Structure 1
């Protein structure tokens, strides 16, 4: 069996093209140019440039070219050494960057942001950040931060890392297949990556149309960019480009890259058809560099100042974003001035140079071998994993020390409980516990409580103690969920089954503005509630307006109530809690003395739901006095944070309201609870 020949570029063309260590210098310059665009757009324009797309394409271009030169010796046995070498090149700088971000977070960020930093640090270290951000993009309950994550830029490095695992498998498979079929490796790989391009591009166009936020970080929606880079590595070396055409292609490519982020909303339109703009511009520059006696844009990219940046491009991408966000935090602004931006860029260049030099020095000092590469990977992982795991463990120990006796919450406002707060105890919940403060039941609805309507999939949960016991159902958005926390201890003590239909951001009010999915859910939820033989149904009877007294009844709620009452179910309407413009937990961490609000400024003088309570089967439950005692709404009561963000109660505080709920329900004849 013959070994397929591997095409090489003509020596005359290679000599005409500037080189650095045997590489095309103009492409090192292109990488630098792409990263500089990313930095400048991030720092001063607050936009995405499309430079990352070029970076991804070039990584596949270089990888494919490297494998193609060794096609005759490729096999699965060669892959472990490749992976060890590649990640030994990538991980040290990445790990040091992540470790620096963790240090900054510990020193400068409030504890309510630590958990997100922890999660993203693990995701970045394990090349999973893009999928973590995909989940966050569609997570209604994800905390909204003032400043962007210092590690969110690792999404592209995660995609790249995943491709560095997948691509060699495809390249080896193509080489093996070529040997068996006695075809040219270049031909087989061109077909293979052409298919990857077509499938991934079609998927990218579709998913970008229906779910762009998630698609932006989706590896499968990005594979076509890598496939295009591989196709360029396979096809461009066979092209012969004249000097004039090279000049035109080069400058068209440069202008297209510079203007891409200005003309297109890259952050909201990629990675579908629009991403062809920067990637094809990069291909144009790759082709331009093939011209005889390349000049113009290609010569500019191959110049010493640009290629010098190319040598630190990876480190520059790593450090520029954390430095930018850290600057925003320190100056307390989501934008930086021109002068501050210059400082950010200067610091980024210095940090990138030091990081690159330091990592190279360490790598040189421990020799070269696959075993050395593996050790370097392990050490890099430990540089982050050990301090991060220790920090999380210490926080868990602190959280375990919080007790209801020292942190009684609302019960300090209930004389009959004799509760006293311990001012020396830490505030509950800790900032790192906020994501656990959402009220949850035991599991999905099943058996008699399982909904038949597919529109309710994933939104029905239950805690069942006895099928013969009375059933309580709560229906609505996240505010129905939070108030369920105040009722659950009472219901569980009294042996009730509890069912909840919950959809974040979607109240049970048919005339409130909503998207199609929410409207369909409302219809199905109302029908389910009417059909369920529940003794009591709980809804949110009012909707507060942030920092306003314009509280009102949700539009159309009355019709839903009429249907439920007609089915024989008692209705309990909870009054909404006040809402604010700022995150009240963060306020507690930073300026606790400024977090209070006068009740008259954040809630209507009287409960607007009174108009719905004319029916004897409709009752109201208003716990405002335990949120705003003596007419003052407070961010912390009884050593417990009342709010976990700008409008939701912490689960800890909601549960502390249980004695007040029992006392109030005992006074309501129609509600057989308490």
Structure 2
């Protein structure tokens, strides 16, 4: 294995530019993952680990380097900060301003949290915890989704830097006791084994987690570590076989072809960072190897063409290198510009012309950011920067005397760099304070609509009972309704996605002799507001057995709405059914239908009746609540509060009834076959003959994409009570 060289590889600058261009093009026009991010991560690992390795070797070879200097992280952290933070802060400030100007207030708090997550480099974990899809762009996507990869890169840089400096210190101390530790070959072996070990563990973890929770796996730092470490491993152990130029050219050409095309034939969201990510990562390694310096030939007359392969020279040409120079800023700018454009136009897709405009604007902003923000702050604030002649070619390609022209530019940077840094810091702090104040404002929003005047706010009674609706502003407001949770959520008795425990809440009349169990997922949970009132009014107890996203089912491989496997649901559902049968309530209330996938209407899944029969065979009555319409229109799903806050109306933010619901409750036929099962349909309290409006009786119906607001459920209490009384007469004060 040959020792890595510190010579700058301009061909890899070009490869970086092509990779980021692929990311932008696939995002804007094709809604697919291109593999460009994986190339970017691999290159980052190659450069960073190679730099740290050289530092570790130099610490042994140069006696004047003290132990403190060898393990001091601040110089490298400062360089990382100068390289990464100026452009990131600029884009985050732009996103903050554009959010206020373009997006409705209902989205401000979520984007504010992502601004913080992005600035502090944990955006990937934020997205993982919030189950955010990273696929096709739409107006509903966050303008900061793409920062997840920057967060992974930042976490990799920090962890690797601290580990490398600690290892360097250990080697410095150990070499005093055992001299062979100071040899470059020994240091290279130690570093290589450490990098290989972590990379193998990371690759195993990424592969194993694909079948457990791919949505989380996609953003998981541990799952992603193997990609930059693969590049780092090549920086440590570069193969040194002598290979002819034409063979290296063919290998690099095949590798580049795979990088350019893998976005079409690999589903990156479903497959990365598992084994399929070896395609872009491995291709990147081949291109790095193909352009690396070859081992000198042996013998006096040995002649081998050692010039770089044709593809490496092409990647090192001016345009790819220039694109590589702005690649970081281009990556930061392209996604928010796309999302804000889609939001401004109210569409989920960019046309060819609109996409071209977005890409052009992204390139222009990237160049301006690099020219007037990145370069001044990187060069102007670093007074002990390396000499001009040691800089990469793309940083000093100027007309005339490069040293004199570059020195002149640096002097200009020195003049206004402190002012630029001060302005950027002030704006960043002000933006952070603004985000914090808005978050506190949203957190302080208190939704208390229990005492709304029923004459002004009839809600569902307007549809069920024909109550007149006066002209007043709807309640809660779009900003307030997103906080309009059912009591079980605020009381903490609902299991979240990762919580395997069964939490039992008690509502209604806790001392009553009869009990209704409310069980299932969030679409069962939202009815607790009405059942709690009915239980208190008619003297029955309501116990809750609830888990996020988990309707009672015998499905072997449950999945979340976005298609992610949810094995925790299967286990919880089995255990909670056993628990309910053992607790022996008088009746169980749960959902009995779901929206039909890929077609209009709704359906009762075949995995629901076996659960119902477990209860009815045990002598427990089952109330099967028909699921409520999931708001959607011609352009897809509708977030009702955001739609209304963005100027929509009850009708334009509503849903066609025929698109959401079958004409007859799909559970009605099963109710005729199982006399202890009662199909209960409240669709007429949500929809008229043709539409399911977003506002009914001056109350906003939904609190998010598909959950009823607690205020609206409260207005359904009487309607639910009448239907429940027909199935269970004892729920109406024992008066049939």
Matched, 1:303 2:317: yes
Distance 1:129 1:647 in 2: 25
Distance 1:7 1:286 in 2: 14
Q: Confirm or deny: 8 A CA contact 1:477 1:502 kept in the other structure.
A: yes
Distance 2:5 2:674 in 1: 86
Q: Which one of the candidate residues 562, 566, 579 is aligned to 1:528? A: 579
Q: Confirm or deny: 8 A CA contact 1:111 1:432 kept in the other structure.
A: no
Q: Which one of the candidate residues 699, 710, 715 is aligned to 1:651? A: 710
For residue 49 of structure 1, report the CA deviation from its aligned partner.
1.7
Distance 1:606 1:50 in 2: 45
Query: Which residue number in structure 2 is paired with residue 540 of structure 1?
Result: 591
For residue 560 of structure 1, report the CA deviation from its aligned partner.
4.8
Query: Which residue number in structure 2 is paired with residue 334 of structure 1?
Result: 348
Query: Which segment is superposed worse, 73-82 or 119-128?
Result: 73-82
For residue 53 of structure 1, report the CA deviation from its aligned partner.
1.1
For residue 551 of structure 1, report the CA deviation from its aligned partner.
6.0
For residue 584 of structure 1, report the CA deviation from its aligned partner.
6.5
Query: Which residue number in structure 2 is paired with residue 284 of structure 1?
Result: 286
Q: Which one of the candidate residues 444, 450, 463 is aligned to 2:506? A: 463
Query: Which residue number in structure 2 is paired with residue 122 of structure 1?
Result: 116
Q: Confirm or deny: 8 A CA contact 2:86 2:377 kept in the other structure.
A: no
Q: Which one of the candidate residues 515, 519, 523 is aligned to 1:479? A: 523
1:37-436 correspondence to structure 2 within 5 Å? 37-71=22-56, 72=59, 73=65, 78-137=72-131, 147-182=140-175, 183=181, 184=184, 185-236=187-238, 242-291=244-293, 292-360=306-374, 363=377, 367-368=381-382, 381-382=428-429, 384-395=431-442, 404-405=451-452, 409-410=457-458, 413=461, 425=473, 427-431=475-479, 433-434=481-482
From the superposition, tell whether residues 380 and 597 of structure 1 become closer, same or farther in structure 2 (CA, over 3 Å): closer
Q: Confirm or deny: 8 A CA contact 2:139 2:343 kept in the other structure.
A: no
From the superposition, tell whether residues 466 and 594 of structure 1 become closer, same or farther in structure 2 (CA, over 3 Å): closer
For residue 673 of structure 1, report the CA deviation from its aligned partner.
5.5
For residue 220 of structure 1, report the CA deviation from its aligned partner.
0.4
Matched, 1:440 2:488: yes
Q: Confirm or deny: 8 A CA contact 1:445 1:499 kept in the other structure.
A: no
Distance 2:314 2:439 in 1: 49
Distance 2:142 2:23 in 1: 16
Matched, 1:640 2:699: yes
Query: Which residue number in structure 1 is paired with residue 399 of structure 2?
Result: none
Distance 1:415 1:237 in 2: 75
For residue 353 of structure 1, report the CA deviation from its aligned partner.
1.0
Q: Confirm or deny: 8 A CA contact 2:4 2:235 kept in the other structure.
A: no
Distance 1:569 1:263 in 2: 51
From the superposition, tell whether residues 159 and 495 of structure 1 become closer, same or farther in structure 2 (CA, over 3 Å): farther
From the superposition, tell whether residues 418 and 597 of structure 1 become closer, same or farther in structure 2 (CA, over 3 Å): closer
Instruction: Report the 3-state secondary structure (helix = DSSP H, G, I; strand = E; otherwise coil) of the residue aligned with 1:502.
Output: strand
Distance 2:555 2:270 in 1: 29
Query: Which segment is superposed worse, 605-614 or 256-265?
Result: 605-614
Would you say how many aligned residue pairs link Structure 1 and Structure 2? 646
Query: Which segment is superposed worse, 606-615 or 53-62?
Result: 606-615
Q: Confirm or deny: 8 A CA contact 2:20 2:331 kept in the other structure.
A: yes
For residue 617 of structure 1, report the CA deviation from its aligned partner.
6.5
From the superposition, tell whether residues 278 and 519 of structure 1 become closer, same or farther in structure 2 (CA, over 3 Å): closer
For residue 479 of structure 1, report the CA deviation from its aligned partner.
2.4
State the Cα deviation string for residues 133-163 of structure 1 (Å, max 9, x = none): 2223389xxxx97543221111100101111
Distance 1:30 1:336 in 2: 26
Q: Kindly report the root-mean-square deviation, in angstroms, between the aligned alpha carbons of the 2 structures.
A: 4.3
TM-score by length of 2: 0.75
Q: Confirm or deny: 8 A CA contact 1:455 1:521 kept in the other structure.
A: no
From the superposition, tell whether residues 476 and 293 of structure 1 become closer, same or farther in structure 2 (CA, over 3 Å): same
Distance 1:220 1:511 in 2: 30
For residue 46 of structure 1, report the CA deviation from its aligned partner.
2.4
For residue 105 of structure 1, report the CA deviation from its aligned partner.
2.7
Q: Confirm or deny: 8 A CA contact 1:147 1:329 kept in the other structure.
A: yes
Q: Which one of the candidate residues 534, 538, 543 is aligned to 1:499? A: 543
State the Cα deviation string for residues 149-186 of structure 1 (Å, max 9, x = none): 22111110010111121011121132123224432332
Distance 2:269 2:557 in 1: 26
TM-score by length of 1: 0.81
State the Cα deviation string for residues 516-535 of structure 1 (Å, max 9, x = none): 94565554443322221324
Q: Confirm or deny: 8 A CA contact 2:87 2:370 kept in the other structure.
A: yes
1:515-664 correspondence to structure 2 within 5 Å? 517=567, 521-541=572-592, 555=606, 560-561=611-612, 563-565=614-616, 567=618, 569-582=620-633, 583=638, 585=640, 586-588=642-644, 589-595=647-653, 602=661, 604=663, 609=668, 612=671, 622-628=681-687, 633-645=692-704, 647-661=706-720
Q: Confirm or deny: 8 A CA contact 2:493 2:503 kept in the other structure.
A: yes
State the Cα deviation string for residues 483-522 of structure 1 (Å, max 9, x = none): 2232123335677654323345554465999669456555
Distance 1:84 1:512 in 2: 52
Distance 2:690 2:267 in 1: 47
For residue 536 of structure 1, report the CA deviation from its aligned partner.
3.4
Query: Which residue number in structure 1 is paired with residue 409 of structure 2?
Result: none
Matched, 1:671 2:710: no
Distance 1:53 1:198 in 2: 17
| Structure 2: tracts of 5 or more residues without a match | 60-64, 176-180, 294-305, 385-417, 560-565
Q: Confirm or deny: 8 A CA contact 1:491 1:673 kept in the other structure.
A: no
For residue 573 of structure 1, report the CA deviation from its aligned partner.
4.1
From the superposition, tell whether residues 626 and 522 of structure 1 become closer, same or farther in structure 2 (CA, over 3 Å): same
Distance 2:487 2:114 in 1: 24
Q: Confirm or deny: 8 A CA contact 1:542 1:553 kept in the other structure.
A: yes
Instruction: Report the 3-state secondary structure (helix = DSSP H, G, I; strand = E; otherwise coil) of the residue aligned with 1:151.
Output: coil
Instruction: Report the 3-state secondary structure (helix = DSSP H, G, I; strand = E; otherwise coil) of the residue aligned with 1:475.
Output: strand
Instruction: Report the 3-state secondary structure (helix = DSSP H, G, I; strand = E; otherwise coil) of the residue aligned with 1:671.
Output: helix
State the Cα deviation string for residues 649-670 of structure 1 (Å, max 9, x = none): 2222112333554566667763
State the Cα deviation string for residues 175-200 of structure 1 (Å, max 9, x = none): 12322443233222112111111211
Q: Confirm or deny: 8 A CA contact 1:472 1:498 kept in the other structure.
A: yes
For residue 32 of structure 1, report the CA deviation from its aligned partner.
1.4
Q: Confirm or deny: 8 A CA contact 1:134 1:217 kept in the other structure.
A: yes
Matched, 1:24 2:9: yes
For residue 541 of structure 1, report the CA deviation from its aligned partner.
4.9
Q: Confirm or deny: 8 A CA contact 1:114 1:432 kept in the other structure.
A: no
Distance 2:555 2:47 in 1: 56
